[in-house]
Chain A
């Protein structure tokens, strides 16, 4: 059976990279006694699939993991047994059975929502002004390191779908996040020329369906 697990990754856990999370889940699943299906082949490994990678240091309220089990378990039991194996900062939000043929997370997710809360006082008016002028532009070039390490200039404007003080003075962003291209929240801050230190949280991952943004758990119902 195939399960989709939604979890949050907050506090110190935000500093775990993708590889560390993979190792962590493999061991947590084994501790929980879940009958995880193994891949075939020379070096069998548990069948796990993740959503789009999250940059180090960013907290998330919406991470996803698809796991295939060799036996049927009630989603509630999975949630309970798995939660018992997680340290503070990782919490299971949802466990859902999905069809065996459902497309992979990385194939459907194309949008990510972020929130920035500030670690120092901010002038909301000024920030609102900067947001307004960024949204009014047709092109917003930022430089990012290219594959060879040399900086490339990239226009992030088409990838900024929403940008607002919501709730003020927090900054909410809806950004493109797909294999075709992803905008990093830091790049938006850079384009805003906003240097107040903030804590960034990923608040959602979505698949765009016309004007609607559906969360992965809404796709298979």
Chain B
């Protein structure tokens, strides 16, 4: 169908470069010589998906193995979708322009809840039955991975299996198995295939588990319905990133994508222990890469991509124990080649700002910090480990270094939040603006406050907490807005209704699949984009399916409650999260285990791994208890 794509479709859509598949470093492997075929789908537009490091890693990790190939697909833009539907052409992979149904495995990364309707749209555009139970011998397996697998239950009925945790070893294992099963002639027997997959560590086959519910609607139990299926599935974890595959020939997009630069992954995981943060929990433990390994990878990346910027990525790059050495060495090494170094996530402290100042020769327009909460009390509740002093020294450093625009991220609706916490946000913004005017006289400093709404997530200390109702969140936004008027102050906020739907899905159970399907049928898709988000689709979907969204988003959960994701094991133990919940209520800080003081989250003993810190333990954390 390759000619069909180039001759019929590409001439009629905007940005056809999204669909070419011939970017530099794209891999076109021989279809017949490599019998196991997978297509990796990022369920959003090309520009978003191509900014995702996970895709680059898995693309390379699979394609470097003989006998298997991995191609890419993304959500088509609405104009392409209309054209595909009008002409009855199925959605295709980028490299070989084949229909998705030609592949043995169709894999989706679950990056955010608001992509779930897009996943259904893609399955539909591919001509695949949406429900796993309705797919037959000739259909590809539909696999999910990524952070959404922390609680995949709302989408479980659409998937044949999920992969928990790191994928660079697990995914080639899955494809090697598929290759063997195809050769042995088993590939048509779906249940046999799934049983064999369920025997691989880290793979979860939802149809092999039955969910029962209590009369109050909560989950009673999730138990295997078949012999030999583990009661809990444990995530995969790479103990040593230095030995792990890392792509040094990533695809260089033709189009300008959101993160259009080299992504050098300095470490995986985060030890801060912010109590709202799911990524900080499910990617534990921290595993740093060796400085020499990173310098070698950077050199190859520069040579093979021609990019003009190296971004040091991780959940919290300033924490990497040799970040200063790394950043300075890279900046000096590539200066005359016109390649710059950037730090995407700054910690709220002077060290981060000085580091950014040292390596970023081009002053980006603004510097961003995330204090998350406006008062010390609430920052202690969430274990942010940042004081007002830290914030003001960081911003002072920034103004003195020549930055004039400061952006601050906060979350509204955090547990125990009151009016004084909200006013604290406005107060802090004004103090920073005042500081900027004193430190940079004659300039026009600006402070932008950007607020999102708190979404309680699985695997966090706040997984028991209710979310504020939409009306309350909107009132809080209004209150802040009225306090952040005046020259030099800017305010931006996210649609609280989107956060509400996220909250419903983030801690939902399998019954919600019906609502996702109903919302998609009504036209919901590409909902990560505010212009495409349609709340009415969801309102009607809940109405039609009789599911109460408040039950999922607004209910205070009991401490003894069985959660829909309790049969999955990301290493962090529930007892630790419960303890963290109580410490949050008491306003007690918990130390960062990077300090060398293990706080007992359970990951290391559970998964048989260790923290890997290249510079040894550093105690930069506030004086929290262990």
Contacts and interface: CB of A to CB of B under 8 A. Distances in A.
B252 interface: yes
Contact of B22 (A13, A31, A57): A13
A158 interface: no
Given A87-B26, A119-B7, A15 B304 contact: no
Contacts of B30: none
B34 interface: no
Given A20-B254, A24-B254, A31 B306 contact: yes
Contacts of A27: 24, 252, 305-307
By size class, the interface of chain A is 20 to 34
Contacts of B22: 11-13, 87-89
Given A15-B20, A17-B17, A38-B338, A31 B254 contact: no
Interface in A19-52: 19-20, 23-24, 26-31, 38, 44
A215 interface: no
Nearest to B94: A12
A119 to B, nearest CB: 6
Interface in B355-389: none
B619 interface: no
A19 B260 CA distance: 14
A199 interface: yes
B24 A87 contact: yes
A85 interface: yes
B527 interface: no
B402 to A, nearest CB: 15
Contacts of A11: 6, 22
Nearest to A20: B254
A19 B253 CA distance: 12
A27 B16 CA distance: 20
Contact of B255 (A13, A20, A28, A87): A20
Interface in B285-326: 303-308
Contact of B306 (A29, A38, A87): A29
A197 interface: yes
Interface in B318-364: 337-338
B621 interface: no
A12 B24 contact: no
B7 A31 contact: no
A24 B307 CA distance: 10
Interface in A51-100: 56-57, 85, 87-89
Contacts of A214: none
Contact of A20 (B6, B17, B308): B17
Contacts of B67: none
Contacts of B307: 27
Given A15-B10, A197-B7, A87 B23 contact: yes
A59 B189 CA distance: 46
Contacts of B255: 20
A16 interface: yes
Central interface residue in A12, A20, A31, by most chain B CB within 10 Å: A12
Nearest to A87: B22
A12 B308 contact: no
A56 B306 contact: no
A15 B17 contact: yes
A31 B299 CA distance: 12
B256 interface: yes
Given A15-B10, A16-B254, A87-B24, A30 B16 contact: no
A29 B308 CA distance: 12
A198 to B, nearest CB: 10
A52 to B, nearest CB: 20
A85 B10 CA distance: 25
B471 interface: no
B254 to A, nearest CB: 5
B23 A12 contact: no
Interface string B236-268: 000000000000000010111000000000000
B305 A57 contact: no
A12 B20 contact: yes
B24 A16 contact: no
B91 to A, nearest CB: 17
Contacts of A16: 17, 20, 254
A199 B23 contact: no
Contacts of B10: 12, 15, 57
A15 B16 contact: yes
Contacts of B17: 15-17, 20
B11 interface: yes
A44 B308 CA distance: 12
Contacts of A29: 306
Contacts of A23: 254, 256
B261 to A, nearest CB: 11
Nearest to B97: A12
A56 B254 CA distance: 14
A89 B24 CA distance: 11
Contact of B338 (A14, A15, A30, A119): A30
A30 B20 contact: no
Contacts of B252: 27
B107 interface: no
A15 to B, nearest CB: 4
B436 interface: no
Central interface residue in B11, B16, B254, B338, by most chain A CB within 10 Å: B254
Nearest to B307: A27
B512 to A, nearest CB: 40
A28 B16 contact: no
Nearest to A29: B306
Nearest to B15: A17
B622 to A, nearest CB: 41
Contacts of B6: 11-12, 14-15
Question: Closest 4 interchain pairs by CB?
Answer: A27-B306, A30-B306, A15-B16, A31-B306
5 contacts: A16-B20, A20-B255, A27-B307, A30-B306, A31-B303
Given A16-B20, A30-B337, 9 more contacts: A12-B10, A12-B22, A15-B19, A15-B20, A17-B17, A26-B308, A27-B306, A30-B308, A38-B338
